[in-house]
C-alpha cells in the first residue's frame, strides 16, 4: 500500500497503478497472465459486445531504442508489475523473459523480436520487444508493421543515439504514435534537459513533458514528478512496489523548489497543448473567464482528465511536421518509474480502432480496410510479420507464422488465402505467443497478435478470407481481395563465403541456410561462380549469429571465409526498349515497351532502399482497359465480370513483371553485380494471338523482355557503386578521441563530426575500409569504445585505380 500526504496526516491509499489486484500478493499460474489479458474486458454484456469492447481496450506496442538503452530491462519490469512474472530476470545473467535465444543469453543483447501479452488497468497489452543493434534492423521493421504504438527508450546520459533516430524514423514512416521514456536517470551523467533538447532537435518532434525527475538534495534520482496529476512519486521497497505519492498542491508537501519546478513544467505543458489542441484551448479560455483572467488559477482548475484527453488527441495525430511525443522518465534497473509508463500506454497510445489502415484491391487501387471489428460481415485480413520453425502438434518441424489480425475473427481449422502467392493455408490450431511459449487459444479477433503453423507463408504476406455475408459496400464486396503493404528488408551490406566441415554436411548446410533465410528476410543465400555458398547480411554481427545458430541449433560445423562487400551497378541515363517482343516457346507472346529509369542523385549518391523496382506507367492502365474493352464483343457478359477480368489481368501483369525485374536484376550487365537504384516502367502492353493471358507463359515472356532491356544498356551508361556506412564510435573516455579520428581518416572517412564533448565521433566511411574494424578499434582503445555502423547510401566509384582494384579482388577483369 501507499502513504499519501493529506494535510498533516498520512493515510493508506490504493496506488494508481495497482489496478487488477495487490501486486505484492498477486501470484498466478504460468498461463494466467495471457488468459487474463485476453479476458480482461469479457466480464459483462453479451459475448459479441464484450468482444468488440475488448478491441477498444487493446494496445499493440513495440519497445524500441538504441542498443543498451534498457528495452529488455524495462519490459521485464512491465511483466512483473502486471503480475505476469513471479520474479524479475536480469539481462547480464541471461534470465529475462524475452531474451531466450542461446546467443541472446550469452551476449546480453536482443537479437530477435519477442512478443508477450499481459493486462494492465483493464487493458490488454500485446508488447513486442525489439533489438537495438543495427544488424537486426529487419526485426524492428517487421514489428513496426504490426504495432499501433511505440514506446521509445532513451539513455538519459546520451539522448538521441544513432539507432534511436533510425527506429523513430521507421515509426514515422508508418504513422505510429510514440511515447518517450528517458531511462537510466540514476546515472551520474544523466542530463534530463539536454536529452529533451536532443529529442526535440534531432527527431524533429514536439516533446510533451508529462514528468520531470525528482532528486534528493545530493542529486540522487528518487522518483518522478507527475505534471498532469501534480504529484511527487517515490519508489521504494522490494522492486519498487512501495510507492509514496504526495499531492504537490498541499502545503509543505515538498520543498518549495520542487513545487516551483512542477508548476513551471505544468504551465509549459498547458501552453504547448493549447497551441496544438482546440478543445483544450476553448476550455482554458472558459476558465479564464471564470477566474477574471487569472491564468494561474485557471491552470489549477484544469482537471487532469481534460489534460490527458488533449495529450492523447495530439499524440494520435500523425502526418504533421512535428508530431507530439509525451515524455516520461525513470530508471528501470532501479525499479523506478515503470508503473506510470504502463499507465501512459493505456492513456495515450491508440487501440486498433484508432488507426484506420488502407490496403490494395485486386487492381492495385488503394482502398480503406474494414474497421477493426470481428463481425461476420467483414473479411478476415491478417499480415504475417515473422516466421520461425518449431515442432507442430503432428510432430513435424514446420514454419510457425506470427501474424496480426486487422479485421474479422479467426477460428481453428479456418482456411485463409495467402494473397501474395495465391495459396491456401489451413490453420488447424491458433496460439498466442509469450516469448518462447505457444499457448493455444479458441480464436483470434481483430487487433490481436497470434501464430499458427503454416506451409508456404513468408514474412510480409497478406492472409485473407471473404466475409460470410454478401458485402458491406462497393469497396468491401464478397469477391474483393485485400493485400496489405508488405515488409521490405533492407539490402545486405556484407557477404561471406561459408564452407562446411565435410562433404557429407554440405546438403545439411544448404537445408539449414534455406530454413534460416526463410525466417530472416534480411539474410540472403546463394552460390557464386565457384560453387561456394555465400551468406549476405546486415553486418558482421548478423552473420556471426547465423554461424552460431548453425553450430548450436543445427549441429553443423562450418566456417566463414573471406568477406565480400556488396557492390552494385547503376544506370546513369534512361534507356527505352520500344515494341519488344516477349517470346514463349520460341513464339511471339506479347509486345511491350519498357523504360529503364535511374534513381541516382546528382552527386552520385543513391538511397539504399531504392532497389531495382517495377511500376506500371500512369497511362497504361487506362490504355489497357480501353483496348481490352474494345476487344470483347460478347455483349451477354455482365459488365462487372468484364471489369473484374481486366483487373485480374492487370494484377497478373504487375506481379509477373515485378518478379521478372527482381530476378533479372541480380546479375547486372556491366560486371554481373546486382543492379540498384533503377526503376523499370511498363509503357505499353499488347497480347499477341487470340489465347487468354496466362501467368506461366507471361512469366517467360516478361523475363526475356527485361533481360533484353538490361542488355541494351551500353557500358558507358553504367557505373559501379559501393556501400557507404555511417559510423558512430562512442568512447567511455574522451582521451582516446584523437586516435579514433586518425584511424577513421586513414580509412577515407568523410564528414567527421566530434560530439558529446569528445566522447563520440560520427563519420561516413566506405564499407570496404571497415571490414573487421570493430575488433581493431576495441584493441586500440583498450575496450573503451563501442561501434555502431549502418548503411547510409551507395556512392558511384569514380576513382579508376580504386575501381580496378575492387574488380580484381572480385575476380572481374577488363573485357568481362
Angle between helices 304-316 and 338-348 (to 10 degrees): 70
More confident residue, 211 or 478: 211
pLDDT of amino acid 33 = 38
pLDDT of amino acid 208 = 96
Report the C-alpha gap between 712 and 361 in whole angstroms. 35
pLDDT of amino acid 233 = 93
pLDDT of amino acid 34 = 38
Examine the pLDDT at 235 and tell me if it is beyond 50: yes
Question: Are the beta carbons of 180 and 200 closer than 8 angstroms?
Answer: no
**All domains in the chain, ordered by first residue:** 2-12+29-354 (3.40.50.300), 358-465 (2.40.30.10), 494-566 (3.30.70.870), 570-713 (3.30.230), 720-809 (3.30.70.240)
| Region of poorest pLDDT, from 33-47, 73-87, 180-194, 371-385 | 33-47
* Mean pLDDT across 113-125: 90
Highest-confidence segment of 53-57, 200-204, 732-736: 200-204
Examine the pLDDT at 115 and tell me if it is beyond 90: no
* Mean pLDDT across 22-45: 38
Write down the residue that cell numbers 493549447 correspond to: 274
If phi over 0 gives left and psi between -120 and 50 gives alpha, with beta otherwise, what is residue 228?
alpha
Report the C-alpha gap between 260 and 283 in whole angstroms. 24
More confident residue, 102 or 192: 192
Number of C-alpha atoms within 13 angstroms, CB side, residue 113? 28
pLDDT of amino acid 773 = 78
Examine the pLDDT at 741 and tell me if it is beyond 80: yes
pLDDT of amino acid 46 = 60
DSSP for 668-730? -TTTSPPBBSEEEEEEEEEE-SSSPP-HHHHHHHHHHHHHHHHHTS-GGGEEEEEEEEEEEEE
Residue 469 confidence class, pLDDT cut points 50, 70, 90: very low
Average pLDDT, the chain: 81
pLDDT of amino acid 781 = 73
* Mean pLDDT across 106-114: 76
Q: Could you report the per-residue pLDDT of 541-575, keeping only the tens digit for each? A: 888 888 888 888 889 888 877 777 888 889 999 99
Examine the pLDDT at 16 and tell me if it is beyond 50: no
**Coarse DSSP helix, strand, coil percentages of the chain, rounded to the nearest 5 percent:** 35, 30, 35
Residue 376 confidence class, pLDDT cut points 50, 70, 90: confident
Helices (H) and strands (E) counted in the chain, each on its own, are 20, 39
pLDDT of amino acid 369 = 75
pLDDT of amino acid 497 = 83
Examine the pLDDT at 124 and tell me if it is beyond 50: yes
Whole-Å CA distances, 464 to 148, 369, 699: 20, 12, 25
* Mean pLDDT across 758-775: 81
Residue 78 confidence class, pLDDT cut points 50, 70, 90: very high
Whole-Å CA distances, 709 to 581, 586, 681, 771: 11, 18, 11, 35
Q: Could you report the per-residue pLDDT of 400-428, keeping only the tens digit for each? A: 999 999 988 899 999 998 887 888 899 99
pLDDT of amino acid 650 = 80
Residue 788 confidence class, pLDDT cut points 50, 70, 90: confident
Residue 626 confidence class, pLDDT cut points 50, 70, 90: low
Residue 304 confidence class, pLDDT cut points 50, 70, 90: very high
Examine the pLDDT at 816 and tell me if it is beyond 60: no
Report the C-alpha gap between 88 and 106 in whole angstroms. 18
pLDDT of amino acid 709 = 93
Examine the pLDDT at 634 and tell me if it is beyond 60: no
Question: What is the dihedral sign for C-alpha 330, 336, 338, 339?
Answer: negative
Examine the pLDDT at 627 and tell me if it is beyond 70: no
Examine the pLDDT at 653 and tell me if it is beyond 70: yes
Q: Could you report the per-residue pLDDT of 490-529, keeping only the tens digit for each? A: 777 778 888 888 888 889 999 999 999 888 888 888 887 6
Q: Using alpha carbons only, what angle is made at residue 732 by residues 731 and 733, rounded to the nearest 5 degrees?
A: 90
CB atoms within 10 A of CB 18: 19
* Mean pLDDT across 582-604: 83
The pTM of this model reads: 0.75
Amino acid at each position: 500500500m501507499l502513504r499519501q500526504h493529506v494535510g498533516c496526516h498520512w493515510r493508506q491509499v490504493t496506488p494508481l497503478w495497482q489496478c487488477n489486484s495487490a501486486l505484492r500478493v498477486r501470484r498466478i499460474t504460468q498461463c494466467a497472465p495471457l488468459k487474463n489479458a485476453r479476458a480482461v474486458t469479457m466480464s459483462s454484456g453479451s459475448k459479441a459486445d464484450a468482444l468488440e469492447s475488448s478491441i477498444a481496450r487493446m494496445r499493440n506496442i513495440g519497445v524500441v531504442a538504441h542498443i543498451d538503452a534498457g528495452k529488455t530491462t524495462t519490459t521485464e519490469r512491465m511483466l512483473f508489475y502486471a503480475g505476469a512474472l513471479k520474479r524479475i530476470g536480469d539481462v547480464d545473467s541471461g534470465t529475462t523473459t524475452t531474451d531466450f535465444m542461446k546467443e541472446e543469453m550469452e551476449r546480453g543483447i536482443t537479437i530477435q523480436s519477442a512478443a508477450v501479452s499481459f493486462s494492465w488497468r483493464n487493458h490488454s497489452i500485446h508488447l513486442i520487444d525489439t533489438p537495438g543493434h543495427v544488424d537486426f534492423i529487419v526485426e524492428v521493421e517487421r514489428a513496426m508493421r504490426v504495432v499501433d504504438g511505440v514506446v521509445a527508450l532513451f539513455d538519459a546520459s546520451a539522448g538521441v543515439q544513432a539507432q534511436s533516430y533510425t527506429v523513430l524514423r521507421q515509426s514515422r514512416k508508418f504513422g505510429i504514435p510514440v511515447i518517450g521514456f528517458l531511462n537510466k536517470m540514476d546515472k551520474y551523467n544523466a542530463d534530463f534537459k539536454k536529452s529533451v533538447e536532443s529529442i526535440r532537435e534531432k527527431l524533429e518532434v514536439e516533446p510533451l513533458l508529462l514528468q520531470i525527475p525528482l532528486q534528493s538534495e545530493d542529486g540522487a534520482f528518487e522518483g518522478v514528478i507527475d505534471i498532469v496529476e501534480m504529484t511527487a512519486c517515490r519508489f521504494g521497497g522490494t522492486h519498487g512496489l512501495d510507492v509514496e505519492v504526495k499531492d504537490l498542491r498541499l502545503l509543505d508537501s515538498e520543498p518549495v523548489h520542487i513545487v516551483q519546478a512542477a508548476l513551471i513544467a505544468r504551465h509549459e505543458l498547458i501552453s504547448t497543448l493549447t497551441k496544438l489542441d482546440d478543445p483544450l484551448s476553448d476550455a482554458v479560455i472558459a476558465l479564464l473567464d471564470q477566474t477574471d483572467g487569472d491564468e494561474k488559477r485557471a491552470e489549477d482548475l484544469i482537471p487532469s482528465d481534460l489534460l490527458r484527453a488533449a495529450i492523447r488527441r495530439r499524440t494520435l495525430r500523425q502526418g504533421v511536421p512535428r508530431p507530439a511525443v509525451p515524455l516520461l522518465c525513470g530508471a528501470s534497473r532501479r525499479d523506478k518509474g515503470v508503473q506510470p509508463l504502463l499507465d501512459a500506454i493505456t492513456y495515450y497510445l491508440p487501440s486498433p480502432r484508432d488507426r484506420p489502415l488502407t490496403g490494395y484491391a485486386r487492381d492495385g487501387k488503394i482502398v480503406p480496410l474494414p474497421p477493426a471489428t470481428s463481425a461476420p460481415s467483414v473479411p478476415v485480413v491478417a499480415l504475417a510479420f515473422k516466421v520461425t520453425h518449431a515442432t507442430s502438434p503432428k510432430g513435424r518441424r514446420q514454419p510457425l507464422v506470427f501474424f496480426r489480425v486487422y479485421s474479422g475473427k479467426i477460428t481453428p481449422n479456418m482456411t485463409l488465402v495467402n494473397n501474395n502467392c495465391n495459396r491456401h493455408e489451413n490453420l488447424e490450431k491458433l496460439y498466442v505467443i509469450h516469448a518462447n511459449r505457444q499457448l493455444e487459444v479458441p480464436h483470434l479477433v481483430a487487433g490481436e497478435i497470434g501464430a499458427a503453423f503454416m506451409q508456404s507463408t513468408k514474412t510480409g504476406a497478406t492472409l485473407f478470407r471473404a466475409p460470410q455475408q454478401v458485402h458491406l459496400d462497393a469497396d468491401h464486396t464478397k469477391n474483393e481481395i485485400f493485400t496489405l503493404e508488405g515488409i521490405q528488408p533492407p539490402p545486405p551490406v556484407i557477404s561471406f563465403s561459408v564452407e562446411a566441415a565435410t562433404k557429407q554436411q554440405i546438403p545439411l548446410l544448404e537445408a539449414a541456410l534455406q530454413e534460416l533465410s526463410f525466417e530472416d528476410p534480411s539474410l540472403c543465400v546463394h552460390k557464386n561462380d565457384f560453387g561456394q555458398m555465400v551468406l549476405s547480411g546486415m553486418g558482421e554481427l548478423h552473420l556471426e549469429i547465423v554461424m552460431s545458430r548453425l553450430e548450436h541449433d543445427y549441429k553443423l560445423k562450418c566456417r566463414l571465409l573471406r568477406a565480400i562487400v556488396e557492390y552494385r551497378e547503376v544506370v546513369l541515363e534512361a534507356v527505352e526498349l520500344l515494341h519488344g517482343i516477349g517470346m514463349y516457346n520460341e513464339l511471339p507472346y506479347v509486345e511491350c515497351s519498357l523504360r529503364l529509369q535511374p534513381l541516382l542523385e546528382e552527386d552520385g549518391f543513391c538511397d539504399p532502399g531504392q532497389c531495382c523496382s517495377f511500376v506500371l506507367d500512369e497511362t497504361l492502365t487506362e490504355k489497357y482497359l480501353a483496348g481490352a474493352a474494345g476487344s470483347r464483343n460478347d455483349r451477354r457478359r455482365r459488365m462487372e465480370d468484364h471489369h473484374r477480368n481486366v483487373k485480374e489481368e492487370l494484377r497478373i501483369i504487375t506481379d509477373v513483371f515485378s518478379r521478372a525485374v527482381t530476378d533479372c536484376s541480380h546479375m547486372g550487365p556491366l560486371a554481373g553485380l546486382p543492379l540498384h537504384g533503377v526503376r523499370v516502367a511498363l509503357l505499353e502492353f499488347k497480347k499477341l494471338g487470340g489465347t487468354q493471358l496466362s501467368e506461366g507463359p507471361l512469366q517467360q515472356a516478361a523475363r526475356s523482355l527485361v533481360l533484353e532491356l538490361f542488355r541494351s544498356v551500353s557500358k558507358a551508361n553504367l557505373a559501379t557503386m559501393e556501400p557507404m556506412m555511417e559510423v558512430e564510435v562512442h568512447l567511455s573516455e574522451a582521451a582516446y578521441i584523437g586516435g579514433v579520428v586518425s584511424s577513421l581518416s586513414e580509412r577515407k572517412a568523410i564528414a567527421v563530426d566530434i560530439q558529446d564533448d569528445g566522447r563520440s565521433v560520427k563519420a561516413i566511411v566506405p564499407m570496404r575500409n571497415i571490414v573487421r574494424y570493430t575488433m581493431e578499434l576495441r584493441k586500440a582503445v583498450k575496450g573503451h569504445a563501442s561501434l555502431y555502423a549502418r548503411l547510409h547510401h551507395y556512392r558511384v566509384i569514380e576513382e579508376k585505380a580504386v575501381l580496378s582494384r575492387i574488380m580484381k579482388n572480385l575476380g572481374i577483369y577488363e573485357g568481362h
